[in-house]
Structure 1
Amino acid sequence: MAEVKDFSSYARKLNRNSDDGSSPVGDSSYKEKIRSHRLKVFFRTIIIAAVVLFAVIAIYISWRDKEYSEAVLTMEAAISNGSDSKVVDLSGFVIQYSKDGVGCYNSSGQPVWNQTYEMQNPMAHTCNSVVAIGDYNGHHIYVSNTSGSMGVVDTSLPIRDFCVSSQGVVAAILDGTDVTWIYLYDCTGNTLASFKTTMKDSGYPISISLSPNAELLCVSYIYPDEGKLKTSVAFFNFGSVGQNSIDNYASGYDYPGVVVPYVQFMNENTAFAISDDRIMFYTGNQKPVSKAEHLLGGEEIRSVYFNDSYIGLVFMNNTDDGEYRLQVYNTAGEQILTTYFDVVYSNIIFDNKQIIIYNEDECVIKDMSGHNKYEGTFTDPIKVMIPTKVRSRFTLVTSRNIMTMNLK
């Protein structure tokens, strides 16, 4: 017969131990081991995460600050264009236009679409993936995107200036007999809005810009004021907010004794204006307000370049630092960089936190701290240099072909 153990006495012993605050045999050491193990896992995880973070930061800094010493060119396709043709970048596609027509090519040089027309003085304006080409003093504006034609606008009156939004909406300054008109059209030529201007009442419009979503229009008017010139920068809202305002007027600012020949939207919330003595910033997607203003000390601005994040003003410098000085501002109106260069530039591009300065023979690439990342020359004269999604790769367009340039 098997022996029957008395578990009741053992249970009573456990209860007595629990009553006087003690623990079962080995329980405290077991909990200590669990606590110690958890701490080891925790600190091991922290150390691994710190090592990984440090490695990621080191790799990013190395990538961000990487300098390039050579460029490898790869031929993509042969193209032909006349001496009077001009080339612009359209979201990575190549737009080539002249008096006779316009064509679009992808980055590999393959034709996407083309359109013929006849113009005397063609002008091109872009917004994101939309391009509008019109004839100064002509009556037609051709609107296209990277896929093809979106439509043609017939203005009836002579064109003095125009701009386009990312949806293909066109704003145009038109010369009437006694008055100057500002018209808004959709991409197929239907009139969306119009208002007239006279030198006596509102002044003459010398520059216009549409916001990318076409809800806001900025106009710079110049007019005489007590024997002096005066400029007004006005904003018009064509969305729901502006429907209850006279002539869709949203806000505006006067600049006595100042000429403001250039206004431009950077994005849907930010616009800027350039005068002969200052740069002005405006913010707001309904009724823009003045955000910042910087006097330029009487220096002449040679050129203005921008994207949706940065604005660059180029001045003559003529010091040992460089022949030219580039001042860069962000959308808040803050000057974030002053850098110098010697390239007799034809274009400056802000892309992927890089500054690309080039002409047909050479280029220099800087980061947003002004540090030179690459300097080099081209074997063939370049018409346009187009950034790609890879910051070390560019599309080059010459008069004979399209090439890819990889920096090493």
Structure 2
Amino acid sequence: MRRKKKPDIHIVESHEDETDALIDEVLKELREEDGVQEEIDEQVRKHRKSQKTKRIIAAVLIIVVVVAMALVINLRTYTTSRVSTTYEINAEGNVSYLEFGNGVLKYSKDGIALVNRKGDEEWNQPYQIKNPIVNTWQDEAVVVADKGGNTIMVMDKKGLKGEMQTALPVERVSVSSQGIVCAVLTTNASPKLVCYDAEGNVLVELTTSLAGTGYPMDISLSEDGKMLLVSYLSVQKGQILTKVVYYSFDGTKEKSQDYEVTSDEYPGVVAASADYMDADTSAVVTDNSLLIYKGAEKPKLSKNITINKKIKSAFHSDKYIGLVLKNEGKGGYELCLYNKSGKKILSEDFTGDYANVKISGSQVLMYDGKKCSVYTRNGIHKYQGEVDDVILEIFPTFGVNKYIVMSANGMEVVRFVK
């Protein structure tokens, strides 16, 4: 039998070596590529970090520039005004203006209207009142009354809320945020304090006496109309005496108290100004002191601040109490501003006489004729100069150094400039 010849099998040992070498080469290249990718990633990170740093620096520079410009604008005292816009106002006769909400009240013996900041009337309520007096509760309600007459009208932002006729002549009025009104009515004997709701219904009557309570120098209703603050002036044993009295009308009256919940006496002084600032805080200004009361239901004296200078005028907002004091010796006046806790936050000397002083927002505005001076609560003297027309009312508006001035020419938007 013939044997089959075995095939020749030639095994190349180096083939395996070449494959391993190829694999090693590929792995080497992959490792090298990984290194390149890491380098690229690192460069990208550095670039992004550099760009982020540049953006941060640019943002900081912009902020610095903006802050610097704001400081230059806000810290400078301007002396010139320029009218940018004028809106015609239909105003005939002797017209008065009073800042109210986002607009201004225009009132005279013929009626009252709310005018917005574009000079347009939001509402107009005609009447015939010989001697109109006005009181507001912040931006919520307004009462206009005929001093010496018998007409009282209550309005809010939307217009007329109610009207009432009194049996006795009106001396002064105060209004709450809901339109509750308290009026001092004069009689042949002693004044009466009568409170009405917005529809004219009598809520409370209080009888005063010169020998007992004294004469009501000022009155102020609380925000909800449930509390009444009265500053009385009387004479006892030949000496003048001020009584600060709070009445509560919340329905829990004790007959023996005749609505009284607080009554404090201050000998030798007159308190011509008494005002509620919010539901919990009220302020009374006497000849030589600022009295701050706290408490919604039974107010108590919180701060008695002695004033060592003669008080020329007092004014307030819902946040601040302001005083203009007469400087002795060096002349001029001191403008002071206190917060509701009684802390003095502003004290600035100034010269010149201003018949009108008010707070609008965080600014104190003093004006008389064409003259005007403006301070911020931080003591920055923003403006000292004149405007083109006699100022009837002024208050800040939207924009840098922009103010609305009410004058005989209507509504003017002015800007304070260098």
Q: How does 1:59-70 map to 2 (within 5 A)?
A: 59=67, 62=71, 65-67=74-76, 69=78
Q: Which of 124, 130, 134 is the aligned partner of 2:145?
A: 134
Distance in 2 (alpha carbons) for counterparts of 1:64 and 1:196 = 55
Q: Could you tell me which amino acid in structure 1 is paired with residue 381 of structure 2? A: N
1:187 corresponds to which residue? 198
Distance in 2 (alpha carbons) for counterparts of 1:366 and 1:207 = 28
Q: Could you tell me which amino acid in structure 1 is paired with residue 220 of structure 2? A: S
Q: Compare 124-133 and 62-71 and name the one that shifted more.
A: 62-71
1:239 corresponds to which residue? 250
Q: Which of 173, 181, 186 is the aligned partner of 1:162?
A: 173
2:89 corresponds to which residue? 79
Q: Which of 211, 230, 242 is the aligned partner of 2:241?
A: 230
Deviation at 1:67, TM superposition (A): 3.0
Contact 2:85 2:414 in 1 (8 A): no
Q: Kindly indicate whether residue 324 of structure 2 is the aligned counterpart of residue 307 of structure 1.
A: no
Deviation at 1:72, TM superposition (A): 4.0
Change (3 A) 1:280 1:391: farther
Distance in 2 (alpha carbons) for counterparts of 1:212 and 1:59 = 39
RMSD: 3.0
2:262 corresponds to which residue? 251
Deviations 1:190-233 (A, max 9, x none): 11222212223322222111122222210112223223222210
Deviations 1:286-320 (A, max 9, x none): 111111112223x4322112111111111233766
What is the TM-score of this pair, normalised by structure 1? 0.79
2:279 corresponds to which residue? 268
Q: Which of 102, 118, 121 is the aligned partner of 2:112?
A: 102
| Equivalent position SS for 1:176 | coil
Q: Compare 131-140 and 246-255 and name the one that shifted more.
A: 246-255
Change (3 A) 1:319 1:366: farther
Contact 2:112 2:125 in 1 (8 A): yes
Percent identity over paired residues: 29
Contact 1:352 1:391 in 2 (8 A): no
Q: Kindly indicate whether residue 185 of structure 2 is the aligned counterpart of residue 174 of structure 1.
A: yes
Deviation at 1:189, TM superposition (A): 0.7
Deviation at 1:152, TM superposition (A): 0.9
Deviation at 1:342, TM superposition (A): 2.6
Q: Could you tell me which amino acid in structure 2 is paired with residue 304 of structure 1? A: A
1:380 corresponds to which residue? 389
5+ residue gaps in structure 1?
1-40
1:125 corresponds to which residue? 135
Change (3 A) 1:344 1:82: farther
Contact 2:75 2:380 in 1 (8 A): no
| Equivalent position SS for 1:59 | helix
Q: How does 1:198-217 map to 2 (within 5 A)?
A: 198-217=209-228
Q: Could you tell me which amino acid in structure 2 is paired with residue 167 of structure 1? A: Q
Deviation at 1:79, TM superposition (A): 1.9
Change (3 A) 1:139 1:66: same
Change (3 A) 1:66 1:224: closer
Distance in 2 (alpha carbons) for counterparts of 1:328 and 1:345 = 17
Deviations 1:321-355 (A, max 9, x none): x7222121111112222112234323223233222
Q: Which of 332, 347, 353 is the aligned partner of 1:338?
A: 347
Q: Compare 124-133 and 369-378 and name the one that shifted more.
A: 369-378
